[in-house]
Structure 1
Amino acid sequence: MNASNRPLSVCLVCNTAWAIYTYRHGLIRTLVGKGATITVIAPRDRTFALLEEMGCHCIDLFVASKGTNPRDDLRTLSELYRHYRKVAPDVVFHYTIKPNIYGSVAAWLARVPSIAVTTGLGYVFIQKSHAAVVAKALYRFAFRFPREVWFLNRDDEAAFIDARLLAHPERARLLNGEGVDLDHFAFTPLPRKQNFTFILIGRLLWDKGVGEYVDAARALRARHPQARFQLLGPTGVDNPSAITLEEVRAWEHEGIVEYLGEAHDVRAHIANADCVVLPSYREGVPRTLMEASSMGRPIVATDVPGCRDVVDDCETGLLCEARNAASLAEKLEQMMAMSHDDRSAMGERGRVKVAAEFDEAAVVARYLKTLNELTGVSL
């Protein structure tokens, strides 16, 4: 119990409830199990019911993730301020760009301690646009308010410090990814089958390199008609880089990829794959790759922040150039040319690396330590 003799109250705020459920499942399970009250504030989606089953209280939030209208963003800030005044949480954790920016300001106005978790720098550091310039200015203003700013990899931390976006650089902390449940994503032997299967798992965004994956698949299918190229994840998401279902269906109709839709539990899809692919332009620390390595799958990914934190080139996977379909195709073909035993060994080394560096238990322990430091409550 805290000073007011009530359960510790923690808010988790994000631009999608799906991300809270998918990426912070272990954290929520631990906090609820220790008696904390968890409030999730995010746009309503199908995971509200799942979060409520876990014991969370869920509040719908208006966030115009694709938009740059100041009126919409002020509405988000105003709603968050109102929620923080009503809920009166002991600590708020913000995730993704707009909750990080407007939530940090709202929490300061409501006199609530907050932590900003930069889950990946996205379009702000990928694109050279007016919106990106504005976003950096907003980061520079808003990030004077959180008690700490957490980064998932050293490249992102360095990018913020080099761009002088942190008024208090001493508040920066390296989380080293959000971790993976090693028991849930248990090691699974690499299958022996006739058709070599690649899979890309995640929100279907151009910034994830889906276009390059499709172009590489188109080139490789001409030489390796037995190879399968799968896509798993939501289309048409609220993101400036979103890919539509119609675009995916056109690729299917062309016979290039198989679209598997969405899945709460991706383990069967990873287990069926010979290789997991993520040609992203930039990541925090990609959960998909941690899960794939945890299950013993070799990886092909881009040599960019986040991906290279998970993949040791030629040891646990292969790294290619970003935004380069030919480079990606070369690495995919190299993966197919390897013997089954060599690919298996690569996947086994990936499991060892993830267990040593990205165990979710260590990440949850970091949250508990921070909550104790900010509130005086030991969970």
Structure 2
Amino acid sequence: MRVLISVNAAWNIWNFRRPLIDALIADGHAVTVLAPKDDTVPKLEALGCSVRHLEMNVKGLNPLQDSNLLMRLRKHFRDLQPDVILSFTIKNNIFGAIAAKSVGIPFVPNVTGLGTAFLSGGMLETVAVTLYKMAFRKLPIVFFQNADDRDLFVERGLVTAPQARLLPGSGIDLDHFAAAAYPQKEGVPVFLMVARLLRDKGVLEYVDAARLVKSRHPAARFQLLGATDAENRTAIDGETVQDWEREGVIEYLGTVEDVRPSVEAAQCVVLPSYREGAPRTLIEAAAMARPLIATNVPGCRAVVDAGRTGFLCEVQSGESLASACEAFLALPPEERAAMGRAGRSKMEREYGHSIVVDAYRTVLRELAPSRKQVVA
């Protein structure tokens, strides 16, 4: 089959969907990635897929820009004439679904997260809900990365129960993110947060918690790894991060090609996000046998078994996060290491990338005979 994958950044495919690409190509499918191009394009082409540039603004909801995106997607779909489109990320899912239905191409979105607009309340949320309802109506399959998001969409009538299928995020390469020996350093553990520096990821709460914990445990270390100045309305700028460093509350690690050495050096990985689809950083850290602290919100609570593989805290509360960090500090080293091992076992049972690959292979078999003639 001719498989088109639509997403809002080529690096998203390289970082999170590479096992899927490898499997599709190994199965004999011709794979094209439709996304804004970046420096990962040569790597994707080396895997054996082609890449076509998609012009789009990934920020916010702008009716004029998004109507242009809809027209561009429709033109790409007509030009490429794929047998099926697999889609990720919010705008590609919504406007791609509408465009694909207009030209009779089977379209399978993956709801990797709901986004600020869906959760904002007021008119913006109304617009987002209306668009989802219009886009997902009568699609054959809609993938979700956690049960909370799936149930919410079903309850609000955005999809039907038979449409909705559940995946363990993007899956994790358990060999690449292998279990690492637990650090045996004496003293206070190092906490690590890996995320884009966005308010919605809970960065401000992480800093608040660091101040509280360090006031009682001065040797505590709180590291932050991730990009500043992201193309997002809730981005935190680099100057703010420098202020935190000068204050001595945060150690900023910048960005890295490979997060594994940073995760291996940490004793606990933290993500106080406001909501997630399937939090990749927590999944990677658990696969490497690191205990977790995360907010008790959709996505995060699916990855963390509270009291067994880590701790959950209240959302948007630096105080609650600080309490969870101190509960972790109160554990003896052998119990911290046991939490990490339990997390690794959970990833082996529930989050291996073969589960995701098999789900998409099933979808392609189901959709193979349903291809309609593309409108000329």
Q: Which runs of 4+ in 1 moved over 3 A?
A: none
What residue ranges of structure 1 are gaps of 5+ in the alignment? 1-7
CA distances 1:239-276 after superposition (whole Å, capped 9, x unpaired): 22222222222222222112222223211111111000
For structure 1, which segment, 45-54 or 228-237, has the greater mean C-alpha deviation from structure 2 after superposition?
Answer: 45-54
Counterpart for residue 52 of structure 1: 45
Matches within 5 A, 1:183-202: 183-194=175-186, 196-202=189-195
One-letter identity of the residue aligned with 2:291: P
Change (3 A) 1:61 1:145: farther
**SS across alignment from 1:230:** strand
Aligned partners of 1:126 and 1:282 also within 8 Å: no
Counterpart for residue 221 of structure 1: 214
User: Are residue 374 (structure 1) and residue 359 (structure 2) matched?
Assistant: no
**SS across alignment from 2:137:** coil
Q: Select which of 57, 60, 72 maps to 1:64.
A: 57
Matches within 5 A, 1:41-190: 41-166=34-159, 168-190=160-182
**Structure 1 Cα separation of the partners of residues 310 and 137 of structure 2:** 39
Aligned partners of 1:13 and 1:40 also within 8 Å: yes
Aligned partners of 2:118 and 2:128 also within 8 Å: no
For structure 1, which segment, 291-300 or 146-155, has the greater mean C-alpha deviation from structure 2 after superposition?
Answer: 146-155
One-letter identity of the residue aligned with 2:343: G
Q: Select which of 299, 323, 329 maps to 2:322.
A: 329
**Structure 1 Cα separation of the partners of residues 166 and 235 of structure 2:** 29
One-letter identity of the residue aligned with 1:134: V
- Aligned-pair CA distance for 1:145: 4.6
Aligned partners of 2:118 and 2:124 also within 8 Å: no
Counterpart for residue 16 of structure 1: 9
**SS across alignment from 2:209:** helix
Aligned partners of 2:36 and 2:56 also within 8 Å: yes
Counterpart for residue 271 of structure 2: 278
One-letter identity of the residue aligned with 1:171: Q
Change (3 A) 1:124 1:157: farther
**Structure 1 Cα separation of the partners of residues 122 and 245 of structure 2:** 32
**Structure 2 Cα separation of the partners of residues 133 and 65 of structure 1:** 19
- Aligned-pair CA distance for 1:349: 0.6
One-letter identity of the residue aligned with 2:286: S
One-letter identity of the residue aligned with 1:64: N
Counterpart for residue 338 of structure 2: 345
One-letter identity of the residue aligned with 1:100: N
- Aligned-pair CA distance for 1:376: 5.3
Aligned partners of 2:212 and 2:322 also within 8 Å: yes
Aligned partners of 1:108 and 1:145 also within 8 Å: no
What residue ranges of structure 2 are gaps of 5+ in the alignment? 371-376
One-letter identity of the residue aligned with 1:86: D
Aligned partners of 1:126 and 1:281 also within 8 Å: no
One-letter identity of the residue aligned with 1:191: P
Aligned partners of 1:252 and 1:259 also within 8 Å: yes
CA distances 1:86-124 after superposition (whole Å, capped 9, x unpaired): 111111111121111100011112221110110011224
One-letter identity of the residue aligned with 2:255: E
**SS across alignment from 1:260:** strand
For structure 1, which segment, 236-245 or 302-311, has the greater mean C-alpha deviation from structure 2 after superposition?
Answer: 236-245
Aligned partners of 1:62 and 1:75 also within 8 Å: no
Counterpart for residue 242 of structure 2: 249
Q: Select which of 28, 37, 40 maps to 2:30.
A: 37
**Structure 2 Cα separation of the partners of residues 246 and 133 of structure 1:** 35
**Structure 2 Cα separation of the partners of residues 263 and 137 of structure 1:** 39
Percent identity of paired positions between Structure 1 and Structure 2: 46
For structure 1, which segment, 229-238 or 184-193, has the greater mean C-alpha deviation from structure 2 after superposition?
Answer: 229-238
One-letter identity of the residue aligned with 1:271: E
**Structure 2 Cα separation of the partners of residues 53 and 112 of structure 1:** 27
**Structure 2 Cα separation of the partners of residues 49 and 255 of structure 1:** 40
TM-score, structure 1 normalization: 0.93
User: Are residue 312 (structure 1) and residue 305 (structure 2) matched?
Assistant: yes
Counterpart for residue 373 of structure 2: none
Change (3 A) 1:135 1:249: same
- Aligned-pair CA distance for 1:149: 0.9
- Aligned-pair CA distance for 1:13: 1.1
CA distances 1:323-344 after superposition (whole Å, capped 9, x unpaired): 0100000111111221110000
**SS across alignment from 2:3:** strand
**Structure 2 Cα separation of the partners of residues 18 and 224 of structure 1:** 39
**SS across alignment from 1:281:** coil
For structure 1, which segment, 197-206 or 248-257, has the greater mean C-alpha deviation from structure 2 after superposition?
Answer: 248-257
One-letter identity of the residue aligned with 1:228: R
**Structure 2 Cα separation of the partners of residues 68 and 362 of structure 1:** 33
Aligned partners of 1:105 and 1:145 also within 8 Å: no
For structure 1, which segment, 120-129 or 316-325, has the greater mean C-alpha deviation from structure 2 after superposition?
Answer: 120-129
**SS across alignment from 1:242:** coil
**SS across alignment from 1:305:** coil
**SS across alignment from 1:10:** strand
User: Are residue 210 (structure 1) and residue 224 (structure 2) matched?
Assistant: no
CA distances 1:65-89 after superposition (whole Å, capped 9, x unpaired): 2232211001111111111111111
